[in-house]
């Protein structure tokens, strides 16, 4: 197994591993690498949908999407290039923070990738938190925020008033590593609990911009056969749409996580 860092702040690229044939000890090594780097890109996999699902289940219970699941494999979603105007993942976000217990991990397997472009960008939110001043850390430590899917609902033609919403701490403690990380995102965080939208806007905007600073980021450049998993508890991600109509086809699953604390 060869491990290369993806960037200074986070991520690792792993060659020489076949995830279909990992014994318990090797799986424990991969888990340790996941805790250390937060994003793993395992190159050169050849997975059927069943094999991806089986590997996903080794991390925990799978989260089924209410309507986007594949007919034959309801725990998988197929991501295809919908064109830049319709791609809903071109923003910094953590997946499904509008739920009480968002997934802990998202896993993407690339079947087809553009020759160039279509990267996924990541930003380390433990680092973002650590890089705040002590004064601002003290302020955000005491805050909770409302997250809502109302923006998404609009894009799906659903009623924004009925969209799921949840309250979470603005700084989240990782349930496995104990690390503290900033836990707000432009896509879903609406306001601080006990504050109005207007009062929240200024500080939220500062945190959104701070959390996405270049020195917290990594970018993954996709090749077919890449299996990428990221820790949805302590980082943000962004699907960069710069590949026009070039085909990009990815199978995606999510693993259940705890309520943020
Ligand atoms: O397509 C990508 O690069 C990532 C899309 C995304 O945000 C997700 O799968 O959660
Ligand atoms: Fe996402």
Does 237 qualify as catalytic in the annotation? yes
Mutation test of ligand 1: which of 104, 239, 240, 251 has the most ligand atoms closer than 8 Å to its C-beta? 239
- The CB of 237 under 6 Å from ligand 1? The reply is yes
Please give the Cα distance from 239 to 222 (Å, whole number). 11
Domain of residue 150 covers 2-255
Please give the Cα distance from 70 to 228 (Å, whole number). 19
Distance from the alpha carbon of residue 152 to the mean position of ligand 1, in angstroms = 14
pLDDT at 161 over 90: no
Distance from the alpha carbon of residue 238 to the mean position of ligand 1, in angstroms = 7
Q: Is residue 261 part of a domain?
A: no
pLDDT at 154 over 80: no
Q: What is the mean pLDDT of the chain?
A: 96
Per-residue model confidence (pLDDT) at position 88 = 87
Per-residue model confidence (pLDDT) at position 188 = 95
Q: The domain spanning residue 137 has which CATH number?
A: 3.60.130.10
Percent pLDDT > 70 in the chain is 100
pLDDT at 4 over 90: yes
Catalytic residue among 75, 95, 119, 226: 95
Q: Is residue 208 part of a domain?
A: yes
Please give the Cα distance from 200 to 196 (Å, whole number). 6
Per-residue model confidence (pLDDT) at position 142 = 94
At 14-29, the pLDDT tens digits run 999 999 999 999 999 9
Residue with CA closest to ligand 1 atom 10: 95
Q: Is residue 113 part of a domain?
A: yes
Q: Is residue 178 part of a domain?
A: yes
- The CB of 77 under 6 Å from ligand 1? The reply is no
Per-residue model confidence (pLDDT) at position 214 = 98
DSSP the chain: -EEEESSSSS-EEEES--GGG--HHHHHHHHHHHHHHSEEEE-S----HHHHHHHHHTTS-B---TTTS-SS-TT-EEEE---GGG-TT-S-B-TTTTSSS--SEEEEEEEE--SS---EEEEEHHHHHHTS-HHHHHHHHT-EEEEE-HHHHHHTT--GGG--EEEEESEEE-TTT--EEE---TTTEEEETTS-HHHHHHHHHHHHHHHT-GGGEEEE---TT-EEEEETTSEEEEE---STT---EEEEEEE--PPP-
pLDDT at 38 over 80: yes
Q: Which atom of ligand 1 is nearest to the CA of 119?
A: 3
Give exposure, 161-181, as e/b (b: 16+ Cβ within 10 Å). Answer: eebeebebbbbbebeeeebbb
Domain total for the chain?
Answer: 1
At 200-250, the pLDDT tens digits run 999 999 999 999 999 999 999 999 999 999 999 999 999 999 999 999 999
Residue with CA closest to ligand 1 atom 4: 239
Residues with CB under 5 A from ligand 2 (ion): 95
Q: Is residue 260 part of a domain?
A: no
- The CB of 90 under 6 Å from ligand 1? The reply is no
Per-residue model confidence (pLDDT) at position 160 = 83
Do 224 and 102 contact (CB within 8 A), yes or no?
no
At 54, phi and psi to the nearest 5?
-65, -40
């Amino acid at each position: 197994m060869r491990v290369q860092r993806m960037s200074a702040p986070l991520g690792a690229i792993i060659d020489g591993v076949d995830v279909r044939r990992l014994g318990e000890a090797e799986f424990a090594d991969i888990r340790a690498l996941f805790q250390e780097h937060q994003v793993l890109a395992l190159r050169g996999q050849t997975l059927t949908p069943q094999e991806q699902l089986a590997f996903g289940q080794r991390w925990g219970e799978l989260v089924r999407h209410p309507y986007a699941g594949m007919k034959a494999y309801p725990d998988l979603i197929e991501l295809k290039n919908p064109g830049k105007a319709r791609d809903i993942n071109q923003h910094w976000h953590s997946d499904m923070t509008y739920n009480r217990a968002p997934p802990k991990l998202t896993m993407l397997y690339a079947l087809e990738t553009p020759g160039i472009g279509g990267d996924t960008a990541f930003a380390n939110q433990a680092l973002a938190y650590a890089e705040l001043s002590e004064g601002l850390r003290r302020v955000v430590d005491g805050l909770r925020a409302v997250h809502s899917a109302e923006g998404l609902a609009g894009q799906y033609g659903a009623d924004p008033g009925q969209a799921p919403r949840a309250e979470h701490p603005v700084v989240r403690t990782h349930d496995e590593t104990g690390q503290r990380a900033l836990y707000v995102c432009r896509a879903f965080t609406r306001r601080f609990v006990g504050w109005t939208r207007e009062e929240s806007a200024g500080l939220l905007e500062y945190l959104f911009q701070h959390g996405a600073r270049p020195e917290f980021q990594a970018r993954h450049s996709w090749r077919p056969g890449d299996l990428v998993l990221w820790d949805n508890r302590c980082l943000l991600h962004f699907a960069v749409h710069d590949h026009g109509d070039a085909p990009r086809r990815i199978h995606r699953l999510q693993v259940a996580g705890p309520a943020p604390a």
